[in-house]
Structure formats: C-alpha cells, structure tokens
Structure 1
Amino acid sequence: MISVIVPAFNAANTIHETVSSALNQTHCNLEVIIVDDGSTDQTGTVAARLAESDLRVRYVYKENGGVASARNRGIAEAQGEFVATLDADDLWYPTKLERQLQRLEQSGPETALVYAWCCWIDDDGNVTGSAPPTRLEGNILPDMCLGNVVISGSNALTRREAVIAAGGFDESLRSRGAQGCEDWKLYLAIAERHRIAMVPEYLVGYRVSPGSMSDDFEQMMRSRRLVEAEFIAAHPELALQFARGETILARSLALRAMDRGQIRQAVKLLTNHPQGRAAAGLASLTWLMSGAIRRSLRWSRIHRYPTAHQFLPTSRPGQAPCIR
C-alpha cells in the first residue's frame, strides 16, 4: 500500500482537485491522509466531504506548525510501506504512482526513492512550462548537492522506513526563519544511504502561484545555506558541489525576480553568494538575458510528452480503473 500525505493550509480552493488526482490513480491500493495544518478557511469542510465519499481518505487536524510538521504527522499516521507527499495545490497524472512503483520494484531493495519529471501548471491546471528532464539515477548524492533533482515535494515515492531512518522533514527550519528546503534536505539524507531511481515521464503538475513559499527568495537562499552547512560538516569533500549549487539556485531565483520586474532583488541574489563577484559581471547579465530563450526551448521540448497536458482527473474520486 502507498500512503499519500496531503499537508494543507487554507487550501479550500484547490484541495478537492488535488485529492481527486490521488484517488484517480491507476494504482489504487492507497490511503490518502489529509493533514489540516490549522487552516482558517473551509479546508476542513472540503476534506471531511472527501473522507465521507471515499473510505481511503482520512482527515487529521493539527495546530499550525508548518508544512514539515504536517508531512511528519501524516507519515506518523501512515500504514503503507511506501509514502508519497502531495502538496494541496498540486496535481498528479493518473499513472504517476503505478509507474513509480514499477520502477522502484525493478530497481531493487537498495533503491529507496523514485522521482519523475515535473510540469509547471497554472490555477486552471494548464501546463505553462517544465523542469529540465534529468535522467540522474543510482548513487547521486554529488548531483543532489547541486540542487533538488526531485524538484517538488509532490514528486517522490519513497520507502517509509527510509524516510523515518533519515529523520523525516526538518521542522526546525521554520523556527529558524528558513522554510523552503525541507524536502531537499530529506532527499539528500536518503541519497546518503540509498540509490535513487526515476521515471522519464511528466507525471507531476507543480502549481506556481504568486506568494508561495518559493517566492520568498531570501528565505529560500537562507534555507539552502542552513542545509548546506549541516551536510558539508559531514561531507567536506562535497563543499565545491554545494557552492556550485548555490550559484545555480541564485541564478534561477534571479530569473524569477526578473520576470516579476524585481531588478534589485535579482542583482542582490547574484551578488550575495560565494561566487557573487563573478556573477555580477557581464557574463551573468548575458546569462539572465538568455534565460527567456532557454525556457522557450525547454517549453518546445515538453510537447514531445503527451502526459504533460492532462493532469485534471476526468472521473470522480473512487471511479478510476485500479491496478492492485
């Protein structure tokens, strides 16, 4: 069985579609645990109705403690051998869990996590772009130091015992004003101990909305640096990889700041990191200006993959064909 953990905070407008995309998986030997993290809107009402309509859904309420604590509470409640977290505004393609479980079984017991490719979706579930389609597998800890290969907290299918052994999601980042890299930190810890596998298909719809946690650029950088510091202490040989990864993240966030017209924020991101002086020169300006071209090329590639365009479920919860 797969336990799907859905942390939710004031997600009344999106949680029905999100949970429906889990319940309409072709692999239906699953439970969906909605963890309401102290919502003040109608999230609890919508979640309760979902639980009434499908016996696989459970609703858990807790005081607000952040996304990491909500995920950990769901994992503690989970009964499945495998765990998949799904943020309350994201969507899954119907074969997501089936394809990942197949890949996990093919890869053997040393593999503890399987990821797929992610698309960006808007408020209507339409695909607006995609993450680079990486094919990294195996012992990829050095690659994970460069950045979060898994991309989204709604992507990974993991062995529950591996998540618990790695300590779950770090709830302390929130209290330190550094939310944002909880999932990356967990995946790094899993990559220390296990092999990673992937499914070369677009199976995750990652909703990009203004005001999300990842839009707080300074907090994201602070979160990354705290995670880096802990891992470099244990793996000093990977310090250069982490430094390169910080530059990559700074440039990525700078592109997003440029998209929003936040020029000063973009410049600050490029100058306030270990390779800042070099990044502030003409090369970085050229890199930023070419970002739109690179993303256009990436968008053209996504059309090779028909699974990228059909995230919204077409049937009601509980109505999907099941592979048991």
Structure 2
Amino acid sequence: MLISIIIPSYNVEDYIEACVHSAFAQTWPEKEVICIDNNSSDGTWQKLQQLKQQYPNLIIDKELKPGAPAARNKGLSHSRGQWVQFLDADDLLLPTKIEHQVQLAGLNPESSFIAGACIKRDLKGKETNHLPRHDNPLKSLFITQLGNTCSNLWNRTFLEQINGWNESLKSSQEADLMFRLLQVNDRVIFDDEPLTIIRERPSGQISQTNPKEKWKRYYNKRLEMIRWIEQHRPELYAREKDFFMDNLFGILKIIGDEDISAATHLYRQHLKGRYTPSPSQTHSTRPYLLLYKMLGFRGAEICRRWQNRLLGR
C-alpha cells in the first residue's frame, strides 16, 4: 500500500533537511515524498533542490497561494497514496511511524483517519508525550485531543470526499479538517504510540501571532461543532451537553484574558440565559462561581483579571 508523505515548506531552510531525512528513513517501503514550497523568502527552495539530488524520487513543486492548507492541497494533487501523511517541515517522524500506523489501518481500512500520539519538544529540548483521548471522536476533537496534522494518518478516500483542506482559514484548519471528516465518517482509530516529534520553533508559528483572533476562531469553530452535534447527533448532545458548554465557557475565559469586551459580547450572544457553569469544571474555582452568581460573567472576569495581576500572573 502506497503512502504519500506531503511536506508544506515555508522559510524552513534550517529544518527541512532533517524533516525530509525522517520521511525517507521510514521503514515502510511503499512511500512517496512530496515537498511544496510556499513562497519562501529564505533558502528553502534551494535546499529542496539539493535534497532532490540526494533523493531522486523526491517530488518538489511550488504553491503561490499563501498558507499551509493550500500547499498541502497542492501536494495532495501530486500524490497517489491510499493513505496520506501530512508532515510540517519543522517536525520529524520516527522510523517506524508509518509502518506502525499502516498496520493499524489494515485492521479498519474504512476509518477516516488514525488519531495518533506525538512527542512535543520545546526550545530547551524537553519532550512531553501527548496522547489522543479515547472517547467519542467529536468530544476528543472539541478539546483538541484527537491527534494532530502530523501525528495522524489520513484516509485519502475521505480527504477527497471533503475536498481536502479549507484554504480560506487563517487558523483552526486542523480542527476544521477533522470536523468535516467526522461529519461524513466518524470511524477513527486511536493510536497511543508516540512516533511523531513536534518541534517548537522560536518564530513562525500561528500560535505566536495574534492570539486574540486565533482564540476567537477557535471558539467559533467549537460553536459550529455544538450546533452541528445538536442537529445531527441529538443523543450525543443530550448526554454530553454540559461537557460541550463547560468547555465552550472555558474558551470564553481565555478570550477574556485578552479582550474582556469581545468575551462579554460572545457570552451575551451565545450563552447568557442558556447556560450556568457547573461546579465540576476544572477551569472555574468555587470562589469564581460565587462571583459569577453575584456579578455575572463580565464582573467575575474583571475580578479574576485583577486577581491575576495582583499575583503577577
């Protein structure tokens, strides 16, 4: 079974060589590696040309439309594999990653994707394992515990069915892709073997740019999920409504740290009168819930912000 490894590349001249080496070092023999340069202004394209001399089977091309989703879709158009490995150029695959997941895929070939574990390596070299949450996939996705772009392995049949990545999104692309896949096929394989290394970079990551807007998009995507689940999976919604709403409320508190006015607006628009925080939440202490009961969302958030400032947080 052929596996396509697709690597979008933007200003990664210091990372791309190790990434491509890790792709070709895979023990699974039936693979193709495709690198798409996405308007790099450094020496990334020259590195790719050098790597093609080392690996003649390496496929390289350029995508002018900015954004990793467009580069991934371009790579997908070049690919022939039945299953697809998307690999960010600053990340690495351990040698048995694909072979291990191909074996899992063979046990359930009609799954839309494999939700894989990963190793996150920070700038100091500290490594932490992150495992997918074995639960209803929609619940796991809602709290960002359904693997990630690089740790997962994707069934081409269903990627084509949803027309690949949404190129218009500035963030939450990964969640959007998985959500659309789950809408057409919610069969997912959970894989707890961490064989992907996600390397932190000092710059160039979306999480480090405009966090306020990122969290708003994150919130809106979860709100979209809730509305779809309520309509199309009513039994799940009725059983897990508190889970979804509690976590949505937690996202609003994160937005409130950056922009109290925006968080208050979203709260009034979607939650006021429809939701009361439960004592079982991990992100709301009993004193906070008391303040919420007395002062409402905005008042409780203002008190929490002042408390954090006094404590130097």
* TM-score bin (small chain): 0.7 to 0.9
Residue by residue over 1:144-182, the C-alpha shift from the partner in whole angstroms, topping out at 9 and shown as x without a partner, is: 2x2232343211111111111123111111xxxxx2211
- Structure-1 residue corresponding to 2:245: 243
Q: Which amino acid aligns with 1:190?
A: L
Q: 1:249 to 1:205 in 2, by over 3 A?
A: farther
Residue 23 in 1 paired to residue 24 in 2? yes
- Structure-2 residue corresponding to 1:226: 220
Residue by residue over 1:85-129, the C-alpha shift from the partner in whole angstroms, topping out at 9 and shown as x without a partner, is: 0011011111111111111111x23312112212211358x3432
5+ residue gaps, structure 2, are 278-282, 290-303, 309-313
Once residues 44 and 139 of structure 2 are traced to their aligned partners in structure 1, the CA distance between those partners, rounded to angstroms, is: 39
Q: Which amino acid aligns with 1:18?
A: C
Residue 166 in 1 paired to residue 158 in 2? no
Q: 1:122 to 1:232 in 2, by over 3 A?
A: closer
* Residue aligned with 2:132, SS: coil
Q: CA deviation at 1:130?
A: 3.0
Once residues 50 and 246 of structure 1 are traced to their aligned partners in structure 2, the CA distance between those partners, rounded to angstroms, is: 45
Q: Percent identity?
A: 23
- Structure-2 residue corresponding to 1:152: 148
C-alpha contact 2:223 2:248 (8 A) present in aligned 1: no
Once residues 9 and 41 of structure 2 are traced to their aligned partners in structure 1, the CA distance between those partners, rounded to angstroms, is: 11
Question: Relative CO higher for 1 or 2, CA cutoff 8 Å, sep ≥ 6?
Answer: 1
- Structure-2 residue corresponding to 1:2: 3
Q: Which amino acid aligns with 2:181?
A: I
Residue by residue over 1:273-315, the C-alpha shift from the partner in whole angstroms, topping out at 9 and shown as x without a partner, is: 6489966764597xx99xxxxxxxxxxxxxxxxxxxxxxxxxx
- Structure-2 residue corresponding to 1:130: 129
Residue 182 in 1 paired to residue 167 in 2? no
Residue 102 in 1 paired to residue 103 in 2? yes
Which moves more between the two structures, 49-58 or 32-41?
A: 49-58
- Structure-1 residue corresponding to 2:292: none
Q: 1:232 to 1:267 in 2, by over 3 A?
A: closer
* Residue aligned with 1:12, SS: coil
Q: 1:250 to 1:59 in 2, by over 3 A?
A: farther
Once residues 56 and 283 of structure 1 are traced to their aligned partners in structure 2, the CA distance between those partners, rounded to angstroms, is: 59
Aligned mate of 2:197, from 198, 205, 219? 205
Once residues 147 and 155 of structure 2 are traced to their aligned partners in structure 1, the CA distance between those partners, rounded to angstroms, is: 18
Q: Which amino acid aligns with 2:200?
A: V
C-alpha contact 1:9 1:36 (8 A) present in aligned 2: yes
Q: CA deviation at 1:69?
A: 0.9
* Residue aligned with 2:194, SS: strand
Residue 143 in 1 paired to residue 159 in 2? no
Q: 1:156 to 1:134 in 2, by over 3 A?
A: closer
Once residues 230 and 264 of structure 1 are traced to their aligned partners in structure 2, the CA distance between those partners, rounded to angstroms, is: 22
Once residues 52 and 242 of structure 1 are traced to their aligned partners in structure 2, the CA distance between those partners, rounded to angstroms, is: 51
5+ residue gaps, structure 1, are 174-178, 255-262, 290-324
Q: 1:122 to 1:17 in 2, by over 3 A?
A: farther
- Structure-1 residue corresponding to 2:187: 195
Once residues 182 and 47 of structure 1 are traced to their aligned partners in structure 2, the CA distance between those partners, rounded to angstroms, is: 25
C-alpha contact 1:267 1:280 (8 A) present in aligned 2: no
C-alpha contact 2:115 2:132 (8 A) present in aligned 1: no
C-alpha contact 2:212 2:259 (8 A) present in aligned 1: no
Once residues 263 and 188 of structure 2 are traced to their aligned partners in structure 1, the CA distance between those partners, rounded to angstroms, is: 31
C-alpha contact 2:4 2:34 (8 A) present in aligned 1: yes
Larger Rg: 2
Query: In the comparison of the two structures, how many residue pairs are matched?
Result: 268
Once residues 266 and 128 of structure 1 are traced to their aligned partners in structure 2, the CA distance between those partners, rounded to angstroms, is: 32
RMSD, matched Cα: 3.2
